């Protein structure tokens, strides 16, 4: 699609992490870029302006510690960094930064409301190859086989933006289907129930010239109730338990340190079960206190993420789906799987 001449700026996050931001002033539709705009879409009054270039896009690399079992961390005390003026806006808009010189996405920003939500089924996005993309399978590690998804920065369900290369990054299945969905569903449920606006910004974070994002910053603020309904500012790690990833290129390999756990759910009996179940301890971390959907192995007393390979190998009679927190399940005698919840 044609693009107006953008202003380009790389915003440095400390000395190593770069958030690439190249705003566009062109109006963005919610149709595929190869399709004509329908009358319904043309009737949408979607306001598009350049993305702000201010301190709201800057973070300190010290605020993003290395991944350690927690799929996300809170930033700025979980308060998004929108300006006071932005927090008052009830105009529908979408902004998608131009790709940088390495073909990487920048900030995606919208004022999510029912007006932006899709009215038709999502189309194919297989023709998009975001930076760092590799088609690679790990059927013995990932239930749905594939390591990478084409991950929407702003979910299709929130803004109806589908095969837009400015809105798609290479994300692990864990990031796309587990972590980001926690926050996407909060916003989706809120807007559907309240018919309010939610300022929503997703910023992919790349270290130096890496083609694969280290993760994404997700910020949201419900406008009409001044953040009482929706308010978060988190960094979600682009990781996949059981897989080692080279973020420079997107290449990957199995994590040998957890390879030995693959038979645990197949035989459903190990010496580790007897020695570690008594050693499981609760944690004060936000991750351990986050209510999510887990799959429990009632025989081995292990807690699994739904996409863990152990779930696929688990006998149906020992499989139990539940919505709880890790801490609550630990109190019931379960312990986190060392493969998907390491």
Q: What does the pLDDT read at residue 283?
A: 54
Q: What does the pLDDT read at residue 173?
A: 95
Name all domains of the chain by residue range, CATH numbers in brackets: 9-254 (3.40.570.10), 261-336 (no CATH)
* 207-211, Cβ contacts within 8 angstroms, sequence gap of 24 or more: 207/16, 207/17, 207/18, 207/247, 208/16, 208/18, 209/102, 209/248, 210/132, 210/247, 210/248, 211/102, 211/103, 211/104, 211/131, 211/132, 211/170, 211/247, 211/248, 211/249, 211/250
Q: What does the pLDDT read at residue 242?
A: 92
Q: What does the pLDDT read at residue 26?
A: 34
Return per-residue pLDDT of the chain as tens, 342 residues. Answer: 333 333 333 333 333 444 444 433 333 333 333 334 344 444 444 444 445 444 445 665 556 899 988 899 999 999 999 999 999 999 999 999 999 999 999 999 999 999 999 988 889 999 999 999 999 999 988 878 999 999 999 999 999 999 999 999 999 999 998 899 999 999 999 999 999 999 999 999 999 999 999 999 999 999 999 999 999 999 999 999 999 999 999 999 998 876 443 333 333 333 333 333 334 455 555 667 787 888 899 888 899 888 787 888 888 878 888 888 888 888 888 888 877 876
Q: What does the pLDDT read at residue 313?
A: 82
Q: What does the pLDDT read at residue 282?
A: 55
């Amino acid at each position: 699609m044609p693009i107006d001449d953008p202003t380009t700026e790389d915003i440095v996050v400390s000395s190593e992490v770069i958030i690439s931001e190249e705003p566009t002033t062109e109006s963005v539709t919610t149709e595929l870029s190869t399709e004509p705009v329908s009358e319904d879409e043309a009737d949408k009054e979607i306001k598009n302006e350049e993305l702000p270039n201010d301190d709201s896009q800057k973070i300190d690399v010290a605020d993003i510690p290395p991944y350690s079992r927690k799929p996300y961390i809170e930033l700025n005390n979980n308060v998004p960094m929108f300006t006071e003026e932005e927090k008052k806006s009830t105009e529908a808009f979408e902004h998608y930064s131009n790709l940088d010189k390495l073909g990487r996405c920048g900030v995606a920003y919208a004022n999510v409301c029912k007006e932006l939500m899709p009215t038709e089924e999502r189309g194919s996005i297989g023709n998009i190859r975001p930076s760092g993309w590799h088609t690679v399978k790990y059927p013995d590690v990932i239930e749905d086989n594939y390591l990478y998804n084409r991950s929407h920065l702003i979910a299709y369900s929130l803004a109806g933006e589908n095969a837009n290369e400015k809105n798609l990054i290479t994300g692990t299945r864990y990031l796309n289907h587990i972590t980001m969905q926690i926050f996407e569903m909060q916003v989706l449920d809120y807007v559907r129930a309240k018919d309010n606006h939610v300022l929503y910004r997703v910023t992919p974070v790349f270290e130096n010239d890496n083609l694969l994002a280290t993760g994404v910053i997700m910020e949201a603020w419900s406008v009409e109730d001044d953040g009482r309904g929706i308010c978060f500012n988190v960094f979600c790690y682009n990781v996949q338990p059981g897989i080692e990833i080279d973020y420079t290129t997107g290449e990957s390999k199995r994590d040998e340190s957890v390879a030995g756990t693959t038979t645990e759910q197949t035989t459903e009996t190990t010496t580790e079960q007897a020695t570690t179940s008594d050693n499981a301890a609760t944690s004060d971390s936000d991750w351990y206190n986050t209510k999510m959907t887990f799959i429990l192995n009632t025989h081995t007393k292990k807690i699994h993420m739904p996409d863990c390979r152990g779930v696929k190998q688990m006998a149906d009679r020992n499989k139990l789906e539940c919505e709880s927190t890790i801490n609550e399940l630990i109190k019931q005698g379960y312990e986190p799987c060392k493969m998907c919840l390491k």
